[in-house]
């Protein structure tokens, strides 16, 4: 996959205020073009040998593959979970103008943009 290719990152957070804090940081720092916040999801998961069920919020982060390590590290530094969900999915196709916007909106100061 091309390092400038668009990706979508899934991040769960324990509450709306924490999700908004993470979203603002990622967009303000130029490492995410957009973060959509889906409130009130229910996650059922296994943790420390027990099945748990919690209400969370889901962040859908639109960015570039080359920025994933920075996003992962930034989320880890801000998150209240010991092991936060930070999963990148490739974007296999999309509206070309939107994908160009993702690349343009995630140009970080000092980084050379590699547009195709």
pLDDT tens digits in sequence order for the chain, 116 residues long:
676 799 999 999 999 999 999 999 999 999 999 999 999 999 999 999 999 999 999 999 999 999 999 999 999 999 999 999 999 999 999 999 999 999 999 976 545 444 43
Cross-strand bridge partners of residue 89:
8
Cα dist from 83 to 27, 107, 109, 110, whole Å: 22, 28, 29, 30
Is 3.40.1190.10 the CATH classification of the domain at 6-105? no
CA neighbours closer than 13 Å in the CB half-sphere of residue 43: 17
Q: Which of 25, 3, 6 is nearest to 102 (CA)?
A: 6
For the record, the structure tokens of 97 come out as: 């103008």
Domain ranges of the chain: 6-105
Q: What is the dihedral of CA 97, 103, 105, 111, to 10 degrees?
A: -160
């Amino acid at each position: 996959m091309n390092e400038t290719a668009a990706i979508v990152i899934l991040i769960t957070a324990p509450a709306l205020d924490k999700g908004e804090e993470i979203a603002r940081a990622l967009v303000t720092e130029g490492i995410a073009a957009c973060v959509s916040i889906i409130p009130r999801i229910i996650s059922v998961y296994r943790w420390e040998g027990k099945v748990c069920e919690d209400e969370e919020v889901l962040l859908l982060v639109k960015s570039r593959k080359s920025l994933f390590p920075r996003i992962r590290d930034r989320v880890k530094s801000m998150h209240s979970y010991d092991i936060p969900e930070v999963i990148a999915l490739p974007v296999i196709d999309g509206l070309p103008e939107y994908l160009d916007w993702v690349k343009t909106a995630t140009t970080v100061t000092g980084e050379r943009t590699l547009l195709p």
